[in-house]
Amino acid sequence: MTPQHKAALARGRAEGLAIRRYLEALESSRPRRGRRRTPASIAKRLEAIEAELLTADPLTKLHLMQQKKDLNDELTRLSEGGDLEELEKQFVKVAKAYGERKGISYATWRAAGVPPSVLQKAGVTRTKG
């Protein structure tokens, strides 16, 4: 394998990783139905769960422990909110080249949840060329 081929493979892996991480972050931060949770509302619910755990039967305790874990995970994701910005920067750097190489159209990026403003920053246009 030539050094150029190895470099191209490494670049492709790095670009694919940047694309994957950004799309996963978009998916996990997509708005859900219902009232949006805040760190304060999560903390309040965690306190309530702690109180409920003291008197809960074993099956209810199991469900409460899972809720507690899920809420702690959500709290961690919320506190890492700036991470999406960094992932977006990496995405913008590679999206155009990656999309052209893989034949991914503007419409497909949009269907995957990428905002038009991000595609514009990346230089991905609605028309080919």
- Average pLDDT rounded to a whole number, residues 85-111: 92
Residue 127 lies in a domain: no
Query: How many domains does the chain divide into?
Result: 1
Quote the domain boundaries for residue 53: 3-122
Is 128 part of a structural domain of the chain?
Answer: no
Given this model, what pLDDT does residue 52 score?
96
pLDDT, residue 6, reads 92
Query: What's residue 79's pLDDT?
Result: 72
Asked whether residue 74 is domain-assigned, the answer is: yes
95, pLDDT greater than 90: yes
Number of CB atoms found within 10 A of residue 92's CB: 18
* Cut 0.75: pTM above it: no
Residue 58 lies in a domain: yes
Give the CA distances from residue 125 to residues 43, 47, 95, 103, in Å, rounded to whole numbers and listed in that order. 43, 49, 11, 13
**What digits encode the pLDDT tens for the residues 63-91?**
999 999 999 988 887 776 557 788 899 99
Residue identified by tokens 């940047």 is 18
